[in-house]
Amino acid sequence: MTFQEAFPVWNKLHSGQQDLILSNLRFQAVKKGTMLHNGDTECTGLLLVKSGQLRAYILSDEGREITLYRLFDRDLCLFSASCIMRSIQFEVSIEAEKDTDLWVIPAAVYQRIMEESAPVSNYTNELMASRFSEVMWLMEQVMWKSLDKRVADFLLEEAAIEGTSELKLTHETIANHLGTHREVITRMLRYFQSEGMVKLSRGAVAILDERKLEALRE
């Protein structure tokens, strides 16, 4: 896949804009676990995923995390370039959850094109609306949904992403995704295990009864 194929509104750019992007583009191959953007660091730029998986999350003062959303192939990450809009007043962190190939578009370049191009600006609107929707979904989960449902949901989603029911996940990792404490997750997983839904082993959770987890989810 070339950048031109991956970038969503490439054909709506005129050639001057295309040249500006291509001559400022940077390709990066990063290892799993790499921090790509820290809430409080400089404006990293827009990240376009070629292949791999990124995770966007927020961090509390005490170091607790909660996952906001994931980015997969062809997804564009806007909030690593939050300087392009002055109204973005929150900080997210972005890390590579898998080995990831990506392109970095410098913030100033994207901003300049967005300001003059209605298609790029409208695309950016759709992009933000789609992240906003994910965060609103999460908010509703956190507000109204009990933790057992959220854990069941998370395990099933992971199984779908990884294409396996044998999940390599520590309790700490699950807690960081869901914004809670490790002890709370351990207690919940033990309950799931006692109900025959999962089998726990060191650094791993195996889903035994998907239908029972599904039922819990609703």
| Minimum distance, C-beta of residue 72 to a copy of itself, in the bound complex (Å) | 16
Q: Which is nearer to a copy of itself, 104 or 138 (CB)?
A: 138
**146 is an interface residue for a copy of itself by CB under 8 A:** no
Tokens for 23, please give them.
Answer: 């001559």
Helices (H), the chain: 3-6, 15-24, 107-116, 118-144, 147-162, 171-178, 182-194, 210-217
**CA gap 62, 48 in Å, rounded:** 30
**12 is an interface residue for a copy of itself by CB under 8 A:** no
The pair phi, psi for residue 55, each rounded to 5°, is -125, 130
**140 is an interface residue for a copy of itself by CB under 8 A:** yes
Site for a copy of itself in 104-123 (CB under 8 A): 114-118, 121-122
Paired residues of 204 in beta bridges? 201
Interacting residue with a copy of itself among 133, 183, 195, 215 (CB under 8 A): 133
Q: Which is nearer to a copy of itself, 61 or 202 (CB)?
A: 61
Interacting residue with a copy of itself among 125, 157, 172, 214 (CB under 8 A): 125
Question: In which residue are the tokens 């791993």 written?
Answer: 204
Interacting residue with a copy of itself among 126, 166, 172, 214 (CB under 8 A): 126
**215 is an interface residue for a copy of itself by CB under 8 A:** no
Alpha-carbon dihedral 151, 154, 28, 49, rounded to 10 degrees: -150
Q: Which is nearer to a copy of itself, 115 or 214 (CB)?
A: 115
Per-residue binding letters, 151-190, with a copy of itself (x by CB under 8 A)? ----------------------------x-----------
**CA gap 47, 81 in Å, rounded:** 8
Length of the chain: 218
Largest interatomic CA distance in the chain: 62
**4 is an interface residue for a copy of itself by CB under 8 A:** no
Interacting residue with a copy of itself among 2, 11, 15, 60 (CB under 8 A): 60
Paired residues of 160 in beta bridges? none
**127 is an interface residue for a copy of itself by CB under 8 A:** yes
